[in-house]
Amino acid sequence: MDESKSLFEFHSKREVAENFSLDELLPFARENNLQEWLAENFYSFEARKVTSAINNKLSDAELKLLLCKIFDMPPENLSADELAEISETVEKNHRRELFMKKSSDDRKSAFVETQGELVRALNSDAKLIYLCGGEFRIPLERGGVTYIGCENAIIDLDEEDFIDLDASDIILEDLQVYLRHSNGLRADKSKDIKILDGSKKILGERPTLKEIFDILRGRKPFEPPENFKTRSENIRGAAVGLTLLEEKNYDFDAAQFDFRPQWDFEYISALKNFVVGKNFSVKLAPQDAENLYGNERKLQIFADFTYHGGKLTILNLYFDTKTLGRVEIEITEKISSASFTGSSCMFGLGYGLDIITAYDMRFEHESISHVAN
């Protein structure tokens, strides 16, 4: 900032806009100098708006937007970052106006799009909170709050005990609710909520989780390979991870929903060679994608296992959805001719590399014969 420049040298909004950047005006606003200047130059309404914005603890981005409007800042005077920041704030304000309903509810309200904003809203004692678009964790110990969802917002409840929202006077509206545990939920006062069951560890009755984890330990030393193979191939529908669908990751032209899995580390030994460096997606027509996103945004990933190359590994990955039934997950990776010699190579890197340094082979002159039947 040019220290020799004083705000009070100027007397019109145009002059201020030409001589100061938004970053230079912000501290004036926070120190009340800008409000004084506005009042002295007969811009009383604008002075009150800035004072109100400071008192309501608006963010820097929102203050900058207000100053842009007050001083008619030409967009070409803004940096690319400032333009992006202000555009985002404008869009957020539009969403807020679109979704926050006018009502007789005089409780303090807030419109939040991230968990951080939710925390700030709760700390400011908001009682009517609009959750927009994202995934949220709400404090079950903070009663008397109504959460209204918009843009397919979802709440993740990771409470192992019975959840009684009614007793805490927590009300949910228009939300997807993902329950990580199956111990029950009471939410009679809530409305238009979609309960998503994220508690399944395995589809079907057998094998049990205990049996699966026993198989994951590998073939027992005295166990015939055929027996281990059979045990491995009996694992069907094990919950190996979960994911949250984001609408921005839907590719309309490819009719494909990309997603990032969160893997369950119980299965890491079987997963590690299979999932590293891969992209995951499901092929869904736009209508199906919209339905799934609108009804079941958070999904468990299920796997069928198989036995290959002496190891337990993944055969298939899929979602088990209420909306569309079983949806196969596709694994994509660019494959070049240099990476593969014609096989899938899904189960390991290569074999026999240790032979290269095994100079003391005792059977160099032994040949291998294959005899036809």
Beta-bridge mates of residue 128: 109, 146
Beta-bridge mates of residue 310: none
Whether 315 contacts 305, CB under 8 Å: yes
Whether the ω angle into residue 207 lies within 30 degrees of 0, i.e. cis, is yes
Asked if residue 55 binds other proteins (CB under 8 A), the reply is no
Candidates 30, 87, 310, 325: give the one binding other proteins (CB under 8 A). 310
**Which region, left, alpha or beta, applies to residue 309 given φ > 0 means left and ψ of -120 to 50 means alpha?**
left
**Which region, left, alpha or beta, applies to residue 305 given φ > 0 means left and ψ of -120 to 50 means alpha?**
beta
| Segment contacting other proteins by CB under 8 A, of 60-68, 123-131, 239-247, 335-343 | 335-343
Candidates 139, 143, 225, 286: give the one binding other proteins (CB under 8 A). 225
Measure the CA–CA gap between 186 and 154, rounded to whole angstroms.
17
Interface with other proteins in residues 228-267 (CB under 8 A)? 253-254, 256
| Segment contacting other proteins by CB under 8 A, of 12-20, 177-185, 195-203, 308-316 | 308-316
Asked if residue 188 binds other proteins (CB under 8 A), the reply is no
* Minimum distance, C-beta of residue 296 to other proteins, in the bound complex (Å): 23
* Minimum distance, C-beta of residue 333 to other proteins, in the bound complex (Å): 5
Interface with other proteins in residues 346-365 (CB under 8 A)? 346-353, 355-359, 361, 363-365
| Segment contacting other proteins by CB under 8 A, of 32-40, 109-117, 258-266, 337-345 | 337-345
Asked if residue 308 binds other proteins (CB under 8 A), the reply is yes
Measure the CA–CA gap between 353 and 152, rounded to whole angstroms.
52
Asked if residue 306 binds other proteins (CB under 8 A), the reply is yes
Asked if residue 368 binds other proteins (CB under 8 A), the reply is yes
Asked if residue 103 binds other proteins (CB under 8 A), the reply is no
Number of residues that bind other proteins (CB under 8 A): 52
Strand 171-179, strand 191-197: pairing: parallel
Spell out the residues 6+ positions from residue 218 whose beta carbon is closer than 8 angstroms to its own.
228, 311, 312
Question: 51: burial class by Cβ within 10 Å (0-12, 13-18, 19+)?
Answer: middle
Site residues (vs other proteins, CB under 8 A): 225, 253-254, 256, 306, 308-311, 315-316, 330-353, 355-359, 361, 363-373
